[in-house]
Structure 1
Amino acid sequence: MRSTSLAFGLGLSLFLAAGWQQPLPAQNKNAVREKSIMSVEQASAFAKLALKGIHKEYPNKPGHVLNADGDAVNPKKLHPAFYGCYDWHSSVHGHWMLVRLLRLFPTMPEAKQIREAIAQNLTAENLKVEADYFSQPNRGTFERTYGWAWLLKLVEELHAWEDPDAKIWLKNLQPLADVIVKKYIAFLPKQTYPIRTGVHPNTAFGLMFALDYAKAFGDKTLRQVVEDRSRAYYLKDANLPASWEPDGSDFFSPSLMEADLMRRVLSPTEFASWLSKALPNLAAKEPRSLMEPAIVTDRKDPQLVHLDGLNLSRAWCMRSIAAALPQDSPVRTVLLESAAKHADAGLKQVASGDYAGEHWLASFAIYLLTVPTTE
């Protein structure tokens, strides 16, 4: 796998350095709007990583609350659609990644295998079990809000694709998405304070993808709740403690994730003003710890390898934040330079050869490489 890792790093990094940072053009809703920067061979290498885990039940970290003796069951029985890839959320964004690659490369060598794997998991019967899980005692907070966010991103991806199989999978998934949307709407007004961690519960990330979904589906209620809570949580922020980043197991930058959310919520003028207060020293390339890629010392450690994901998510945040700023902004230039460094560092390690990182990092890489900066 190491040679594949180097192929990712060298091939894609050359493109990154050549100008990947520019906003990608939008087309009509039903077209694939993304301009791919990958070859079919590179897309296949990413797809193989996801396919390797999509039906791999063990090792597994279920996050399951036991209510009785009979609840101690295997992962596939608990989650017949999303049991692979080590945990529920990784399985969900593994499915998202495969759908996205299939949209971009419909004739890729793995296309048939991808369709078969997704069709096997995303049946109406399996997804009814998944939806029912959230209504069971002590399970209403399961995967809040990281897994919720990725589930909505998967459904959004299918919604934008005019494909017969995609329409079937979307129909099967919609009841689960409806459950998640209702949970967002019920929960967010009760959450007085945002969670500013660099791992799964990060509130800004959960709001980002929920807002993308609300816009794609025209869900005015969800959109209003997300935008209202985003302003309540973050609008008055100033001098964010970004110099404290990263923590030892971060795969998100709390400060950049917040900024990536707020550029979705605010007008360009409002956002530029907000960013100048929230992170006032970006033009001076400060804080240095935010501008330089994180160092990973052991990719077999499931917590330390999070930092490879941090480099990838920092890159996508910096790219998107930069695109929301004026062309002549010095902050824009700084962010794009730093984004390229982070992308280079992260992409080289997507296929490390160890399952601790390989079961999820490819999804982060595909999000970085193919999602328009306007989302």
Structure 2
Amino acid sequence: MSISALQPHAQTWATTIAEVLATPWPYAAAHASRGPEDCDVTPSRLHPMFHASLDWHSSAHMQWSAITLLHHTALPEGTRDALTAELDSRLTDENGQVEATYLADHPGYERPYGWGWVATLTAGATALAADTAHPLAARARTWATALQPVADQVGDHLIAWLPKLAFPIRHGVHSNTAFGLTLARDAFEALGVDDVVTAIDRAAREFFLPDVDYPSSWEPSGADFLSPALCEADLMRRVLPHQEFGAWLNTFLPVLAEPGERLLQMPVVLDETDGHAVHLHGLALSRAAQLRALAPFLEAPRATAARSAADELVAHASAAISEGDFMSTHWLVSFAVLAALME
């Protein structure tokens, strides 16, 4: 993990986070109304923690980005204060109970992508709270305490859901099983919730261990922000012992990072205002993070190619992270942070 790679971008990214978390509309509530009395989808009422930034999951992971930058970079006082004030207003015990109750009442809501990000946010706040020398540790304890009931509900949902999932979802958008489980596994491992980690490992082995010769030339689809191939490999990197994973990766993606291999190519966005088209900027960033994570398991020429492609993918998407349309800026910082942490 490369914390130092965050600092050159910290001010720009933090400013973007503050701006999008203060942008209430447009908002996609994704609320399934159960009757005429259940049609008030005012974002701050339904989701007092996770309103603004277009949708529930983006609000959650942009708050994770804020906490990550507050924890690991030096920000100007005004920017730091703006982010902490935003988090103080959202991450309260009362708001956490509202969000936990909503998830309990809507067990399929934001599954598994939003679940993974809320768990990740909780783990980030908990890590900052544990860093007692940090000036924001006390405030982070308040945030982590407020988030804990929401993360607990996510953990309960995962344990209940995974045995009922007959097949993984393998496409490159929010419902991708491997990416959501990767986020959740890292978070619950950091939080010390062993039963959730065990359930994820069991499901990952069942779903993905038999896979061989993935057709990476079929990627990407036109709205992907995730590579199904790389998401699967990145999850199994966590689940399998080091040597076993290297052998599995070589059979799953035998041509990874070979010359001309599609997973290293730059995605092209033709309409910067189209919320689905700009997913491809996120694909560049998520590919970069995962290629950096997988490079140590490749032989030297392929490892070098993977790292070089990751750098090019980040550069390719860099303008959209903070300078693009709101359809990009409301979420891309988080994927840029993931890529920087793997640099």
Aligned to 1:356: 327
Aligned to 2:314: 343
CA contact (8 A) 1:292 1:341 kept: no
Unaligned runs of 5+ in 1: 1-22, 25-33
Distance 2:215 2:5 in 1: 35
The answer to whether the aligner puts 1:310 opposite 2:283 as a matched pair is yes
Shift of 1:127: 1.2
> Aligned AA for 1:276?
N
Unaligned runs of 5+ in 2: 132-136
CA contact (8 A) 2:92 2:146 kept: yes
Shift of 1:220: 1.6
Aligned to 1:57: 24
Shift of 1:281: 1.2
SS in 2 for 1:135: helix
Aligned to 1:254: 228
TM norm structure 1: 0.86
Distance 1:35 1:284 in 2: 30
CA deviations 1:35-86 (Å, max 9, x no partner) are 34433xx311111111112132210111101012122111111111111100
Structure 1 residues 221 and 75: CA distance shift in structure 2, 3 A? same
Aligned to 2:266: 293
What is the identity percentage for the equivalent residue pairs of Structure 1 and Structure 2? 36
Shift of 1:215: 1.8
Equivalent residue runs for 1:67-216 within 5 Å: 67-73=34-40, 74-109=42-77, 110-136=79-105, 139-161=106-128, 162=131, 163-216=137-190
CA contact (8 A) 1:102 1:108 kept: no
- Counterpart selection for 1:367 from 315, 338, 343: 338
Equivalent residue runs for 1:225-304 within 5 Å: 225-287=199-261, 289-304=262-277
Shift of 1:278: 0.7
The answer to whether the aligner puts 1:46 opposite 2:13 as a matched pair is yes
> Aligned AA for 2:325?
D
Structure 1 residues 85 and 283: CA distance shift in structure 2, 3 A? closer
> Aligned AA for 1:248?
G
Shift of 1:282: 2.0
Aligned to 1:28: none
Higher alpha-carbon deviation: 328-337 or 45-54: 328-337
Distance 1:199 1:178 in 2: 25
> Aligned AA for 1:301?
D
CA deviations 1:195-248 (Å, max 9, x no partner) are 001000000001101111222122221111111111111111011121110000
TM norm structure 2: 0.94
CA contact (8 A) 1:283 1:334 kept: yes
CA contact (8 A) 1:352 1:358 kept: yes
CA deviations 1:276-323 (Å, max 9, x no partner) are 111111252353x22211011111111100000000000000001113
Alignment coverage as a number of residue pairs: 334
Distance 2:300 2:228 in 1: 23
- Post-superposition, which runs of at least 4 consecutive aligned residues in structure 1 deviate over 3 A? none
Higher alpha-carbon deviation: 139-148 or 102-111: 102-111
SS in 1 for 2:321: coil
CA contact (8 A) 1:240 1:255 kept: yes
SS in 2 for 1:185: helix
